[in-house]
Structure 1
Amino acid sequence: MPTHTPSLRRRTLLGALAATPLSWAATAATTDWPRKPIKLVVTFPPGGSSDLVARLLAPALGEQLGQPVVIENKPGAGSSIGAQQVAQSPADGYTLLASNSAALSIAPSLLEKRSYDPSRSFVHLAYIGAVPTVFALHPSVPAHSIEALAAWIRSQPGALPFGSGGAASVGHLVGEQFAQALGLKLQHVPYKGAGPMRSDLLGGQIRMAVDALPQNIPLQQQGRIKLLAVTSARRVPQAPNTPTVAELGYAQLESENYVGISAPAGVPAGVAARISQAVRQACLRPAIAQALQAQGFATQDMEPAAFAHLVAAQSATWGRIAQRTGATL
Structure 2
Amino acid sequence: MARNFKRNMPLALVNHALAAIFLVAFCPAYAQTAYPSKPVKLVVGFAAGGPTDVVARAFADHASKALGQPFIIDNKPGAGTIIAAQAVASAPADGYTLLFGATNHTMIPALYQGRVKFDAVKSFRHLCTVASSPTVLVVPPSLPVKTLADYQAKARAEPGRVTAGTAGVGSSGHFATEIFARAQGLQLNHVPYKGKGAAPVVTDLMGGQLDSSFATLGSVLPQIKSGKLRALAVGAPQRSALVPEVPTFAEAGGGNYAADVWYGVLAPAGLPEPIAQTLERTAADFAKSESAADKLRGLGMDAESVCGNAFAIRVAREVTTYSQIAKALDLKAD
Q: What interval of TM-score do these two structures reach, taking the shorter chain for normalisation?
A: 0.7 to 0.9
Let me know the Cα RMSD of the aligned residues.
Answer: 3.8
Deviations 1:24-71 (A, max 9, x none): 99714x55x3423523314476333x3342233221112223333333
Offset at 1:120?
1.4
Offset at 1:167?
4.5
Find the partner of 1:122 among 121, 124, 145: 124
Comparing 225-234 with 138-147, greater Cα deviation is found at: 138-147
Q: Name 1:249's counterpart in structure 2.
A: 253
SS of residue in 1 equivalent to 2:175: helix
1:111 paired with 2:112, answer: yes
C-alpha separation in 1, matches of 2:84 and 2:208: 30
Deviations 1:74-95 (A, max 9, x none): 4444443432332223434332
Offset at 1:261?
0.6
The residue type paired with residue 111 of structure 1 is: Y
Q: Name 2:321's counterpart in structure 1.
A: 317
1:276 paired with 2:280, answer: yes
Query: What TM-score, normalized to structure 1?
Result: 0.75
Query: What TM-score, normalized to structure 2?
Result: 0.74
Comparing 149-158 with 280-289, greater Cα deviation is found at: 149-158
Contact preservation (8 Å) 2:164, 2:214 = no
Find the partner of 2:290 among 260, 267, 286: 286
Identity level (%): 31
Gaps of at least 5 residues in structure 1 are 1-12
Q: Name 1:6's counterpart in structure 2.
A: none
1:259 paired with 2:263, answer: yes
Offset at 1:206?
5.4
Contact preservation (8 Å) 2:130, 2:286 = no
Offset at 1:173?
0.8
The residue type paired with residue 213 of structure 1 is: L
- 1:1-329 matches, cutoff 5 A: 27-28=32-33, 30-31=34-35, 33-36=36-39, 38-43=41-46, 46-48=49-51, 50-103=52-105, 105-113=106-114, 114-146=116-148, 148-149=150-151, 151=154, 160=163, 162-164=165-167, 167-180=169-182, 181-191=185-195, 193-194=197-198, 198=202, 208-251=212-255, 253-292=257-296, 297-329=301-333
The residue type paired with residue 27 of structure 1 is: Q
C-alpha separation in 1, matches of 2:234 and 2:124: 30
C-alpha separation in 1, matches of 2:281 and 2:179: 37
Deviations 1:110-139 (A, max 9, x none): 322143212211111122243310123345
Offset at 1:242?
1.9
C-alpha separation in 1, matches of 2:174 and 2:160: 22
Aligned length: 310
The residue type paired with residue 85 of structure 2 is: A
Offset at 1:200?
6.0
C-alpha separation in 2, matches of 1:198 and 1:85: 34
C-alpha separation in 2, matches of 1:245 and 1:125: 29
Distance 1:71 1:196, change over 3 A: farther
Gaps of at least 5 residues in structure 2 are 1-16
Distance 1:70 1:194, change over 3 A: farther
C-alpha separation in 2, matches of 1:275 and 1:192: 35
C-alpha separation in 1, matches of 2:160 and 2:171: 27
Kindly name which structure, 1 or 2, has the bigger radius of gyration based on alpha carbons.
2
Contact preservation (8 Å) 2:132, 2:261 = yes
C-alpha separation in 1, matches of 2:157 and 2:190: 10
Offset at 1:188?
2.9
C-alpha separation in 1, matches of 2:196 and 2:266: 22
C-alpha separation in 1, matches of 2:75 and 2:139: 27
